[in-house]
């Protein structure tokens, strides 16, 4: 069982690690992923953000 102090230390460590990671992304960009991997995962050509919004706007809700 983890006591509260240890849990709190873990949370602080996690927050600090995420802060450093996102700071690096802000400075250098996110290097991960590529179109081939995304096509493979989706099994189709990926949509653009505009295409996604158009499909979302034309879909029926409820």
- The pLDDT score that the predictor gives to residue 12 is 92
pLDDT tens profile 2-54: 567 677 889 999 999 999 999 998 898 887 777 788 899 999 998 888 999 99
Distance CA 46, CA 25 (A): 23
Looking at per-residue pLDDT, the higher value among 7 and 1 belongs to 7
Domain that holds residue 10: 4-58
Total of domains in the chain = 1
Tokens representing 3 are 């006591």
Whether residue 33 contacts residue 41, with contact meaning beta carbons closer than 8 Å, is answered with no
């Amino acid at each position: 069982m983890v006591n509260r102090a240890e849990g709190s230390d873990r949370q602080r460590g996690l927050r600090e690690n995420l802060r450093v990671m996102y700071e690096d992304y802000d400075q250098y960009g996110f290097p991960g992923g590529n179109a081939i991997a995304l096509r493979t995962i989706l099994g189709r050509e990926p949509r653009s953000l505009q295409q996604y919004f158009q499909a979302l706007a034309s879909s029926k809700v409820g």
